[in-house]
Amino acid sequence: MNPLELAGARPGPAFTVTFDGRPVDALPGQTVAAVLWAAGVTSWRDTRRGGRPRGVFCGIGVCFDCLVILNGRPNQRACLVPARPGDEIGTQEGTGHGRTRTPDGTGDGSTEEARHAD
């Protein structure tokens, strides 16, 4: 049994997003965090001081541990934002205003500075 079977889910057609440049399948109705969990990914942020990996903790938008770079914008809460076709999801390093990761794990992607001061 898996959760989709348990709930008798018949989702709309799957679509593709990318995580650090790598294609990942996503289902309509899932948040970015749910898409990453379904793909076996549980961390997508490195902390500002210790550079330690983090992912979902509270699951409801309160703890801010799940911050992610979404389509070039850092500090998006993955547990709240619905995934959309073509989304580019990137590991957030520190404040997320630096470089993004690429599939080989190096960092030569580019980020757009956040438009709003967080």
Partner 1 sequence: MRTDLAVIGAGPAGLAAALAASARGVRVTLLDAATQPGGQFYRQPGAGLGAARPEALHHGWRTWERLRDGLAASAVRVLTDHHVWCVERTPDGFTVHALLGPEQEEPVEVHARAVLLATGGYEQVLPFPGWTLPGVVSAGGAQAMLKGGLVVPGRRAVVAGTGPLLLPVATGLAAAGVEVAALVESTAPLRLARQAPALAGKLAEGVGHAAGLLRHRVPVLTRHTVVRAHGEDRLTGVTVAALDADGHVRPGTERHLPCDTLAAGHGMLPHTDLAESLGCRLDGLAVDVDTEQRTDVPGVWAAGEATGIGGAALSLAEGHIAGCSATAHLHGTARGPAPAALKARTALRRSAAALDSAYALPAYWSEQLTDDTVVCRCEEVTAGSVREALDLGAGDERTVKLLTRAGMGWCQGRMCSTAVAGLAGCAPTPAKRPFARPVPLGVLARHHPQEGLS
Residues that bind ligand FES (CB under 6 A): 56-59, 61-66, 77, 79
Taking the complex as a whole, the smallest distance from the CB of residue 110 to partner 1 amounts, in Å, to: 20
Tell me if 60 contacts ligand FAD by CB under 6 A.
yes
Q: How far apart are the first and last CA of the chain?
A: 41
User: How far apart (Å, rounded) are the C-alpha atoms in residues 9 and 94?
Assistant: 37
By CB under 8 A, the count of residues binding partner 1 is: 51
Where does residue 75 fall: left (phi above 0), alpha (psi -120 to 50 degrees), or beta otherwise?
A: left
By CB under 6 A, the count of residues binding ligand FAD is: 2
User: How far apart (Å, rounded) are the C-alpha atoms in residues 73 and 96?
Assistant: 8
Tell me if 116 contacts partner 1 by CB under 8 A.
yes
User: How far apart (Å, rounded) are the C-alpha atoms in residues 95 and 11?
Assistant: 35
Tell me if 85 contacts partner 1 by CB under 8 A.
no
Footprint on this chain of partner 1 (rule: CB under 8 A): 1-12, 27-31, 33-34, 37-38, 42-43, 47-50, 52-65, 67, 73, 76, 79-82, 116-118
